[in-house]
Amino acid sequence: MITTHKTPKFKPHGQFSRGTPIENEILLPLEFLLLNLSPVYYGFGIPHGDGSAVVLIPGLIGLDESMLLMYWWLKRIGYRPYLSGVGLMADCPQVLSKKLQLTIDKAFAETGRRRVHLIGHSLGGIFARIAAVRRPKQIASVISLGSPIRGMVAHELVFTIADWIRSLIHSRNPDLPETCGTTHCMCAFGRSLTRKWPRLVRQTAMFSRNDGLVDWHHCITGQEDTDIEVQATHLGMLVDAGVYWQIAQRLARA
């Protein structure tokens, strides 16, 4: 379902949302079960791929393995999926983005220099968008799943985890600036957050009012053909049949 919303202003790291329905996240096992019962997961009733590369990027403290269900589904419907290669999403963003770029370069080369699709969950969607801003000639499309692309406005639990990760980063690299890992950081990664979106790259921003971890108002662009509303929880976006159906449609369009 495509919905038009007013684009929220970009909010810096540290501003919290109110009333995010975090209890919705307990529905994750049910979403997983319904996906496995859905014809979409087995490739029925959806457009199939043309062998294009699709790089999958996990969210905060996520591992590539969290994307495996989507990986095998994409392979089944005719795409050439790649895991991001970043390892654990708990390091300096500039370091992680360099690892991601190596994977994008590999996917681009191995598919005959055809432009690559990126799918990022939560924080992974931000990494996907920054990769597209930096190398638009390599990227065909970006799909973000519950990603706070208009600023880090999320449940307090998310910031607790993020603060722990930043303390870990600084314990290993004390010379890094205090703002590392926030939207205030002025490294190359941080500066890319507010760069203009490249016209070459098709974008999709999926959001859900059932998201229990990230404020959905900050997961949208405000553009009718870009913002897609789904019914999944935040964690459930990786295993929701409706999300998978939308991904198949958007990849086919791109």
pLDDT score for 13? 47
Sheet (strand 139-145) strand order: 80-83, 53-57, 116-121, 139-145, 202-208, 227-230
**pTM score of the predicted model:** 0.84
pLDDT score for 212? 86
SS3 55: strand
Ordered by where they begin, the domains of the chain are 22-253 (3.40.50.1820)
Q: Which residues pair with 205 in a beta bridge?
A: 144, 227
* Interval 119-130: pLDDT, tens: 999 999 999 999
Q: Is the pLDDT of residue 171 over 50?
A: yes
SS3 199: coil
Average predicted confidence (pLDDT) for the chain: 85
pLDDT score for 186? 53
* Interval 2-53: pLDDT, tens: 444 555 554 444 445 555 678 888 999 999 999 999 999 999 999 999 999 9
pLDDT score for 214? 86
Distances (CA, A) of 229 to 1, 70, 164, 246: 6, 19, 31, 10
